Amino acid sequence: MPDRGRTGARTGGARPRREAFPLERACGVLLHPTSLPGGRLGAEAYRFVDWLVAAGQSYWQVLPLGPPDEHRSPYAGLSAFAGWGGFLADPEAPVSARAASSFRRRHAFWVDDWVEHVGDPRELDVQVRFEREWSAVRSYANRRGVRIVGDLPLYVARSSADVGAHPELFDLTLDAGAPPDAFSRSGQLWGNPTYRWAEVRRQGYRWWIERFRRALQLFDAIRLDHFRGYVSYWAVPHGRRTAKSGRWYRGPGRDLFDRATAELGWLPLIAEDLGHITPAVHALRMALGIPGMHVIRWAFEGRPSSPHALRNHRENAVVYLGTHDTDTAAGWLASVPPERRRRIEEERKRVGIDDSVEPWWALVELTLSSRARLAIVQAQDVLGLGSEARMNTPGTVGGNWQWRLSPGQLGPEQARRLRAATERWGRARTRS
């Protein structure tokens, strides 16, 4: 059923749920494991957890951990369930027959489909190793008081194992995307197939419930990428060159989340409610009682009524300086016009940030000053790096997802500075 973007699937009554992710006032850092020195788990992942603790941080946010596409994009994953073998610190670690059998039994819903898709029976051992290494890192982080925020893309790749194993759930005649707007006159065309939500619903949302179950096995909290797509989504006939000829279709709404929570319990979710957001999208987020997002750099690109302006931030929210799709703070500042710089300076003075700090660090402090309970900054912005450290530029193919820390680049000096700012704005955790 088409949806013109003003309304969507059922979002629930006016009475909101209790908050499923009760955030304390805290702070964290966004760093994908590919950006660790060496680009893998192992010793550098543990060192990063130790650095987070020294810096007073409570959260480590990562991007999707599934096998990326040929361009290394984690948002065009080849599986909604499998972990990427490229993360392994010890890709040759022994796997016993008992461990492989246990893994296959516990992950029976998806693992055989993935192994068949890869075409190599040794892939089962890869998944056992991934679970072993990632679980050890997560357990270590949790023991040290750091929780992991994961990322759940709405869509999967057209060439994914999921489409191959469950073709009836996907509409291959449509490509997902976003409508034309001020940032893109032709819209965005992502190429992912959309869902046949009527069939997904007829099957009791089993594929989605198992997907949430898997995410809960990997993360302490889950960011729902493109949250507005659960209400209504923009889709274009497959094969078109731009997104202009698309239209809105109705998503599953609250029904999906009701079914998932009935089986799995409360879900610790964060809604990425950015982009073309309608009252129906806000209504679903509020009905679920989950935090949405604010982005500090966008506070200076819109009107004073923008939800990203500091004065308009919600307490039940996560505030970001920027995202993996935006330039770094220093890179962005190098290109902003004088009028925007003036607005940033006025906000810095209003909040009371020392005028001796670097302009990019002032943006870090503005982010931490928000009333939103959780603040997340990218590791690149803690270091004050320029556009060369940008993670992704939407609409481009080459040169993305490549930035990586040098050994020791995040050191004691950066930890002390971030801890001081975190304490100044009432977000610091106790040492452990």
DSSP-derived 3-state class of residue 253? coil
DSSP-derived 3-state class of residue 231? coil
User: What does each C-alpha distance from 48 to 31, 42, 292, 324, 341 come to in angstroms?
Assistant: 9, 10, 27, 19, 33
Strands (E), 338-403: 374-378
d(CA 432, CA 415): 15
Amino acid of residue 302:
G
Torsion sign over Cα 32, 37, 39, 41: negative
Residue with tokens 């000053």: 369
Looking at the DSSP bridge assignments, the partners of residue 188 are 178
C-alpha atoms less than 13 angstroms from C-alpha of 371 in its C-beta half-sphere: 10
Residues recognised as catalytic: 225, 272, 325
Q: Residue 28 is encoded by which pair of tokens?
A: 């964290």
Residues 20 and 289: beta-carbon distance below 8 Å: yes
Looking at the DSSP bridge assignments, the partners of residue 142 are none
Among 144, 220, 160, 221, CA closest to 195: 160
Strands 374-378, 317-320: pairing is parallel
d(CA 213, CA 92): 28
